[in-house]
């Protein structure tokens, strides 16, 4: 019997992002978000399996989280969050809930 890997629900968004891989920085848009990662629109794709850091700004929230490229193509790139702490995971979960919930984010305080 085949094991199924269930992934977290994805939600459509449109947020500016900055991705840094060593000395290389690219700007783009986050088009989908989940607690596991993001789908990005970038002008130039990254190499699969590259690792770096992603910066996201939403209202007065600044988030920086380590990521790994899981898909790279001409239309979009996908990154997976590489959490270093439980606090990072919790903060991203709060951000996703805030972005996808019925109320605006007012009490979210990300500290990355």
CB 110 within 8 A of CB 91: yes
Q: Is the pLDDT of residue 106 over 80?
A: no
- 3-class state of residue 104 by DSSP: coil
Q: What is the pLDDT of residues 20-64, one digit of tens each?
A: 988 889 999 999 999 999 999 988 888 888 999 999 888 777 889
Tell me the sheet residues that pair with 8: none
Q: In the 8-state DSSP scheme, what is residue 4?
A: P
pLDDT for the residue numbered 75: 81
Nearest to 39 by CA among 7, 61, 62: 7
* pTM, to two decimals: 0.81
Nearest to 29 by CA among 65, 54, 4: 54
Domain ranges of the chain: 11-100
pLDDT at 18: 94
The fourth-level CATH superfamily of domain 11-100 is predicted glycosyltransferase like domains (2.40.10.220)
Residue 85 in this model has a pLDDT that exceeds 90: yes
- Mapped onto helix, strand or coil, the DSSP state of residue 90 is helix
Q: What integer pLDDT is reported at residue 36 of this predicted model? A: 96
């Amino acid at each position: 019997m085949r094991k199924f890997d269930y992934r977290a629900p994805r939600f459509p968004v449109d947020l500016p992002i900055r991705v840094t891989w060593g000395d290389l920085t690219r700007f783009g848009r986050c088009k989908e978000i989940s607690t596991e990662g993001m789908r990005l629109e970038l002008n130039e794709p990254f190499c699969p399996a590259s690792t770096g850091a992603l910066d996201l700004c939403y209202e007065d929230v600044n988030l920086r989280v380590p990521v790994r490229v899981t898909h790279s193509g001409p239309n979009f790139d996908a990154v997976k969050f590489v959490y270093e702490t439980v606090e990072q995971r919790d903060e991203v979960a709060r951000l996703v809930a805030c972005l996808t919930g019925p109320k605006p984010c007012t009490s979210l305080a990300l500290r990355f």
